[in-house]
């Protein structure tokens, strides 16, 4: 049974690896700027395009609701890749999200604001891409001119105003290319890590022995019948020698007469006493023909003690009759 369970588990694992895709889902969290989606129409359009991609889940949040994004990221299954896209104050709070999660693959920060305090990055982030305008006068006093300080960061300088940066095609292309890079990286790594063909060709264990469930001992079945077959044959043989229950009827004339079975058992004993008397075997043979113990023969009537006495009186002298009846 243990070997059967092990092989069943291995087969189920191979089937699941072959049938399931070899890439993990990517979760994209979008953090809106101040005033939410009303001030970020271009970001709303980008989120809609990302939702149409296969194996991508997109969720949007207000910049002050960054803790909800943290909870959603921490609930993702193991192996899910995380991409965070933040705009203005949402770009600033993307760092707070990374500090409160285990790992973030990529952060795309669009024009973080200088009008708020900026936390230092303490979490693990694979790559950060920041698009900003270093001229604060072009971003309403620095609303899109904050330069983040973090490892593995790539700066891209633009001349867009703060409201117009969200419509920049370069920004949209960067987000989409990062999403494609993450998916391609996950696909190649997973394909190398798991090879179903190798698992399917694993040899069986050396100590595997046939079990009663998987194999049948054909040698024993050829020479010895099964136990239940022996019991069935015994019951059939017993039924052949026993009289049917329907033919065993109680005596109709003598109510207090003993059962005929003991009479037939003791009947042969008087034979040695009468040496010169005729052998009584035919008598008892005739008696058996008229008794209920005739087996499958017909039963005209039941032999009783009175019948035996009458027969002895007719065939034996009076002196011997007393000994027989006694």
Taking a C-beta distance cutoff of 8 angstroms, is the pair 31, 90 a contact? yes
pLDDT digits (tens, 9 = 90+) for 133-167: 999 999 999 999 999 999 999 999 999 999 999 99
> Which tokens hold the place of 247?
């033919």
Quote the radius of gyration of the chain (alpha carbons, Å).
51
Structure-model confidence comparison of residues 305 and 202, the more confident one = 305
pLDDT at residue 19, rounded to an integer: 43
Indicate the SS3 state at residue 73.
helix
Going edge to edge, which strands form the sheet with 26-31? 56-61, 26-31, 81-87, 104-110, 125-132, 153-157
Q: Are strands 125-132 and 104-110 parallel, antiparallel or unpaired?
A: parallel
308 burial level (CB within 10 Å; 0-12, 13-18, 19+): middle
| 6 has pLDDT over 80 | no
Q: What is the maximal distance between C-alpha atoms in the chain?
A: 154
pLDDT digits (tens, 9 = 90+) for 75-88: 999 999 999 999 99
pLDDT at residue 40, rounded to an integer: 96
| 63 has pLDDT over 60 | yes
- Name the pTM for this structure: 0.54
């Amino acid at each position: 049974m243990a070997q059967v369970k092990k092989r069943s588990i291995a087969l189920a694992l191979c089937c699941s690896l072959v049938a399931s895709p070899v890439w993990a889902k990517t979760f994209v969290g979008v953090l809106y700027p101040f005033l939410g989606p009303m001030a970020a129409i271009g970001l709303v359009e980008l989120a809609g395009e990302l939702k149409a991609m296969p194996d991508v889940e997109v969720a949007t949040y207000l910049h002050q609701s960054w803790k909800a994004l943290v909870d959603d990221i921490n609930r993702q299954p193991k192996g899910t890749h995380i991409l965070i896209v933040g705009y203005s104050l949402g770009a600033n709070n993307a760092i707070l999200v990374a500090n409160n999660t285990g790992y973030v693959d990529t952060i795309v920060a669009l024009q973080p604001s200088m009008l708020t305090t900026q936390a230092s990055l303490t979490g693990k982030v694979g790559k950060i891409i920041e698009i900003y305008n270093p001229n604060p006068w072009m971003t309403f006093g620095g609303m899109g001119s904050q330069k983040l300080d973090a490892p593995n960061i790539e700066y891209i300088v633009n001349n867009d105003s703060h409201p117009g940066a969200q419509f920049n095609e370069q920004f949209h292309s960067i987000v989409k290319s990062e999403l494609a890079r993450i998916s391609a990286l996950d696909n190649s790594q997973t394909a190398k890590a798991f090879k179903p063909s190798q698992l399917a060709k694993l040899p069986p264990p050396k100590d595997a022995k046939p079990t009663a469930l998987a194999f049948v001992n054909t040698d024993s079945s050829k020479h010895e019948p099964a136990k239940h077959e022996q019991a069935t044959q015994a019951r059939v043989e017993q039924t052949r020698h026993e009289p049917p229950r329907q033919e065993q009827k109680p005596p109709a004339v003598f109510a207090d007469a003993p059962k005929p079975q003991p009479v037939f058992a003791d009947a042969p004993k008087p034979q040695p006493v009468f040496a010169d008397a005729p052998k009584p075997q035919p008598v008892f043979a005739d008696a058996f023909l008229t008794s209920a113990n005739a087996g499958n023969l017909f039963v005209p009537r039941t032999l009783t003690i009175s019948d035996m006495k009458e027969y002895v009186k007719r065939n034996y002298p009076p002196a011997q009759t007393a000994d027989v009846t006694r």
